[in-house]
Amino acid sequence: MSSKLNEHDPRVRRTRQLIEQSFDNLLAEKNFDSITVQDVTEKAQINRATFYAHFEDKYALLDHSIRQKFRQEIESRVLNACHYTPENLRMLILTVCEFQVKLNTSCTQSQKQFAPLVEKQIKGQVYELLLVWLRKMDIPTSAEMPATAATWAIYGLASYWSASKNRPALEAYVDKALPLVAVNLNPLAPAAV
């Protein structure tokens, strides 16, 4: 770990990418517990010491990987996710819902142990995004509390939906969820969504 690496250095980007994709490939073969740091570095063709310059250990890599995947999921759907629009909020909720489902279906049984990790990362990402949105709106109150409330609301609604026996259509569900969340982001016009 030592001092921080320069994120803009091409070398750093390269090795990080190599580590990430090697890890992804390994996860498709084995379960997480049986993956060693050596496995990752061998497949990535990088030195083992270099790994530790980027990640504290393989758990930090897992964290980062989950975070990355969710972020990509958002960015693939939203043109400019950096400011609030009702449409962006829709997409955010929708993304969280689908991410939940994907975990329940496409992932192997053995990977469900990471549910709490995933929850933490998703909430973190959502919270950060909502903070950005709120701070760009000129509101008198602080942004932290509305962001927290909205984050938990979104995650809770998504969990509820993904766990439902026979889920309603996603689009329709999100339409109903939207005003419940937006109310925290529109303090000036709470009912008009």
State yes or no: residue 45 binds a second copy (CB under 8 A).
yes
Q: Does 46 bind a second copy (CB under 8 A)?
A: yes
Is the distance from CB of 88 to CB of 185 less than 8 angstroms?
no
Q: Is 8 in the site for a second copy (CB under 8 A)?
A: no
- Minimum CB distance to DNA, residue 171 (Å): 43
Number of residues that bind a second copy (CB under 8 A): 6
124: helix, strand or coil: helix
What is the biggest distance separating any 2 CA atoms in the chain, rounded to whole angstroms? 57
- Judged by beta carbon distances under 5 to 8 A according to partner kind, the member of a second copy, DNA, none in contact with residue 140 is none
Would you count residue 116 as binding a second copy (CB under 8 A)?
A: no
Rule CB under 8 A: choose which of 3, 4, 8, 10 binds a second copy. 10
- Residue 48 binds a second copy, judged by CB under 8 A: no
* CA torsion angle 63 68 70 71 (round to 10): 140
Query: 68: number of CA atoms within 13 Å, CB side?
Result: 13
- Contact between 140 and a second copy by CB under 8 A: the answer reads no
Structure tokens at 124: 């973190």
**R_g (Cα) of the chain, nearest Å:** 19
- Cα–Cα distance measured from residue 125 to residue 113, given in angstroms and rounded to the nearest whole number: 20
Residues that bind DNA (CB under 7 A): 1-3, 5-6, 8-12, 14-16, 36-38, 45-50, 52-54, 56-58
Name which of a second copy, DNA, none residue 157 binds, using a CB cut-off of 5 to 8 Å depending on partner kind.
none
Residues of this chain that bind a second copy (CB under 8 A): 10, 13-14, 45-47
